[in-house]
């Protein structure tokens, strides 16, 4: 059995889709559907069962799930604006520790989601060097919760037995339930369709013009390819960046969306909320050398190709989900 925590969420459900494409459906999905519309991500997927995250740990520790091939831990509170530090500690740190301990005691493959937000303002670069983990200074509690789990694995000398993934700016199908945390591509599509224009935040940094703030945008289909590769190569362990290794501006992303819609470019620059100004990343770019040295050889989809696929084959369709 493959267990995917957060399996109804964005990257989690995309990975279940990838497993299905590989002919695998003996999958247990662990999540908290609550009143969200995450359930829609599951409709076209094949899996054995679903269980609520609050029930999962106790049943797991009682060995109720039989033979487990791997636990892919994508479940977490992913809101970068979450203020409840105790909730983040319980959900993103302690829960992850319990799963890691279970897997390592039984030689079960453990792949988990860290985050590029652990890099903070980027002043220390974006190299996934484990020897530099202690130097990182996340800008929000979400990033700090992810960082704490990475640090715990390092202190316990366990990083050579698990695979952690620092996802950069992921976008693509199945993110529709994420509200304010949806990608700008997803938000831009709706905004442009409704108003004919796209609003982007102004820049408050002298080195970046309006809309020239830069990110490493990575398509979710590429992310799950990396995850599937790691599943097939249990000898590859450590913390790895997952990005394209190329930085692109918000203006370039906007142009890609307008182009995919075959509409003229119309961008308006608006004030950034005060709550974001001191915590805003103006530049992210994944250093991808480590993953390539580990054996990853595939090329990532370009921003323009990924946006076109997402807009034309999903967002513009009546059924926009991976199937």
Phi–psi pair at 114, nearest 5 degrees: -95, -145
In the numeric block, the tokens 């636990």 are attached to: 71
- Residues 320 and 189: their CA atoms lie apart, in Å, by 13
Radius of gyration of the chain (CA): 19
pLDDT at residue 121 in the model: 86
Q: Which residues of the chain have pLDDT under 50?
A: none
Which residues have CB under 8 Å from 62's CB, separation 6+?
none
What burial class does residue 54 get, using C-beta atoms within 10 Å of its C-beta: 0-12 exposed, 13-18 middle, 19+ buried? Answer: exposed
pLDDT at residue 276 in the model: 82
For residue 34 the two structure tokens come to: 């609550």
Q: Mind telling me the catalytic residues?
A: 142, 178
Please report the sign of the dihedral spanned by the C-alpha atoms of residue 159, residue 161, residue 162, residue 163.
Answer: positive
Which residues have CB under 8 Å from 45's CB, separation 6+?
13, 16, 17, 20, 322, 323
* pLDDT tens digits, 112-147: 999 999 999 888 999 999 999 999 999 889 999 999
Q: How do the domains of the chain map onto residue ranges?
A: 2-171+217-243+287-300
pLDDT at residue 266 in the model: 98
Which residues have CB under 8 Å from 123's CB, separation 6+?
none
pLDDT at residue 75 in the model: 94
2-171+217-243+287-300, what's its fold? Rossmann fold (3.40.50)
- Bridge partners of 248, per DSSP, are 215
Pairing of strands 267-270, 217-219: unpaired
Q: Are 172 and 14 in contact (CB under 8 A)?
A: yes
* pLDDT tens digits, 245-261: 999 999 999 999 999 99
Pairing of strands 169-171, 163-167: unpaired
């Amino acid at each position: 059995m493959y267990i995917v925590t957060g399996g109804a969420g964005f990257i989690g459900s995309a990975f279940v889709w990838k497993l299905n494409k590989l002919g695998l459906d003996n999958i247990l999905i662990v999540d908290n559907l609550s009143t969200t519309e995450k359930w829609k991500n599951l409709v076209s997927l094949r899996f054995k069962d679903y269980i609520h995250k609050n029930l999962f740990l106790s049943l797991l520790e009682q060995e109720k799930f039989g033979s487990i091939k791997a636990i892919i831990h994508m479940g977490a509170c992913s809101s970068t604006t979450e203020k409840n530090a105790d909730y983040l500690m319980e959900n993103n740190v302690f829960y992850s520790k319990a799963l890691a301990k279970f897997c390592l005691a039984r030689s079960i493959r453990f792949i988990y989601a860290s985050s590029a937000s652990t890099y903070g303002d980027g002043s220390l670069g974006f190299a996934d060097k484990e020897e530099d983990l202690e130097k990182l200074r996340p800008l929000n509690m979400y990033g700090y919760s992810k960082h704490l789990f990475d640090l715990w694995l390092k202190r316990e000398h366990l990083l050579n037995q698990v695979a952690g993934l620092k996802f950069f700016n992921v976008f693509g199908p199945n993110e529709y339930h994420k509200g304010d945390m949806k990608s700008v591509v997803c938000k831009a599509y709706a905004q442009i369709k409704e108003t004919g224009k796209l609003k982007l935040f102004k820049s408050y940094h002298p080195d970046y013009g309006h809309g020239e703030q830069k990110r490493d945008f990575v398509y979710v289909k590429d992310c799950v390819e990396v995850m599937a590769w790691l599943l097939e190569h249990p000898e590859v362990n450590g913390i790895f960046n997952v990005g394209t290794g190329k930085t692109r501006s918000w203006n370039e992303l906007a142009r890609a969306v307008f182009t995919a819609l075959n509409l003229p470019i119309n961008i308006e620059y608006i004030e950034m909320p005060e709550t974001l100004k001191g915590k805003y990343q103006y530049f992210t770019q994944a250093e991808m050398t480590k993953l390539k040295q580990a054996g990853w050889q595939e090329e990532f989809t370009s921003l323009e190709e990924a946006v076109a696929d997402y807009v034309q084959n999903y967002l513009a369709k009546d059924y926009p989900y991976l199937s």
